Amino acid sequence: MALSFQPDKPIYLQIAAHMKREIIAGSYQPGDRLPSIRDMAMIYEVTPNTIQRALQLLEQEGILRTERTNGKFITADDALLRRLRGDVLRERAAAMTRELLAYGFSSEEILSALSDELKGADSQ
Amino acid sequence: MSECCVSVKDLSMSYGRGDALKGVSFQLEAGTLVALTGANGSGKSTLLKILAGLIQTYRGEASILGQRDTWLTKSEVCFHPSYPWFKPGQRVSDAVKMYAVLRPGYRVAEADELFSRFGFDMGAQLGTLSKGRLALALFILSMGVNARVYLLDEPFGGIDIKTRDEMREVLLRQADERRLFLIATHELSDMERLFDRFILLDHGRIALDGQSDDLREQYGCSIAELMRRKL
């Protein structure tokens, strides 16, 4: 079953974000070679052009590099991958915080709910 | 820059009573999947028939792979009509044989494999299939054609959502950098991800034409929602 996308957001951005999560979660290892664009199009069930656009974005950010004859690889640059981890954590935390603040929850309520959630996750 | 596969310039067409197309212009590149959408009667089928060389009484220009007379390009084109073209008694296997005779390079093995994957009895008469199964059978027959330009008129009509998911995969498997798919369709929501570009026709004119992700970015909504707003 293919990944489902939010219909109101550009798909190439959602693929780029998904790949970043896969890299952080370790599904892709530093230095790994990516599948071909055609294969990735089948995996994500989108057109090869959409994949191309997502990969271009990741390449601009330094997360991917192209070897002319061998295809595309995840960077092995540790500093960059650490930065990516930090960026994604901040980005997700910011989005969640914005949403909860918009509901009118206080900082204390949000922090205590988060800490409860984390305790729950740890005990599993 | 990709090769231009299909070009129309100031294309117009009247059927006696009214105009079906009024000054339509666009260029489509090889290696893309393009959705042609619009309400019933907006001119989608007329446009596809002109490109397929089935209508020659249009004004303006239409060309396929640089060839102006689109009736000369039929061997490069796979036209998939929205209406049934077979005799009701014809069997699935007869239809495959017919395509193999009519279309040089027809991929019989691939068509057979798809029929078996979708659970068809090759001996079944086309006229006895349900509307959805028939639409799927015609789609499979077209997917066996080896062409550069695929003009598909409502290939997903009457087909259930699970089968549409599989058709999406079949289409993506066919797509390559040399081929162009121009698909007239009403079924947007679950098929949106299949298309690089959307062209919306409204009463024979282009109401909207853009790259899918650019449209989503610009309007902040899904293509299906955008089409509803524009019509």
CATH number of the domain encompassing residue A50: 1.10.10.10
Same domain, A22 and A68: yes
**Considering the domain B30-56+69-230, what is its CATH architecture?**
3-Layer(aba) Sandwich (3.40)
What integer pLDDT is reported at residue A3 of this predicted model?
81
Q: Please state the domain count of chain A.
A: 2
Tell me the residues of chain A between 57 and 76 that have a Cβ less than 8 Å away from chain B.
none
Same domain, A40 and A60: yes
Rounded mean pLDDT, A65-70: 85
What integer pLDDT is reported at residue B2 of this predicted model?
63
Same domain, A112 and A93: yes
Chain-wide mean pLDDT for chain A? Answer: 92
Rounded mean pLDDT, A54-79: 91
What integer pLDDT is reported at residue A1 of this predicted model?
54
Same domain, A72 and A99: no
What integer pLDDT is reported at residue A59 of this predicted model?
95
Same domain, A52 and A83: no
Give pLDDT < 50 ranges for chain B: 1
What integer pLDDT is reported at residue B1 of this predicted model?
46
Same domain, A63 and A87: no
What integer pLDDT is reported at residue B209 of this predicted model?
97
- Shortest Cα–Cα distance, B221 to chain A (Å): 4
According to DSSP, residue A33 is labeled B
Give the largest CA-CA distance in chain A. Answer: 54
- Decide if A3 is inside a domain: no
In chain B, which residue's Cα lies nearest the Cα of A7? B222
Same domain, A83 and A29: no
Rounded mean pLDDT, A60-64: 93
Strands in chain B per DSSP E: 4-15, 18-29, 32-37, 59-64, 77-80, 149-153, 180-184, 197-202, 205-211
Same domain, A87 and A106: yes
Task: Give the closest of A8, A45, A49 to B216, CB-based.
Answer: A8
Domain ranges, ordered by start, for chain B: 30-56+69-230
d(CA B129, CA A72): 46
What integer pLDDT is reported at residue A60 of this predicted model?
95
What integer pLDDT is reported at residue B86 of this predicted model?
84
Task: Give me the domain span that covers residue A104.
Answer: 79-123
Measured between CB atoms, does B32 come within 8 Å of chain A? yes
Does position A108 have pLDDT exceeding 70, yes or no? yes
d(CA B72, CA B196): 28
SS3 labels along A50-82:
HHHHHHHHHHHCCCEEEECCCEEEECCCHHHHH
Q: How much of chain A, in percent, has pLDDT values that exceed 70?
A: 98
- Decide if A6 is inside a domain: no
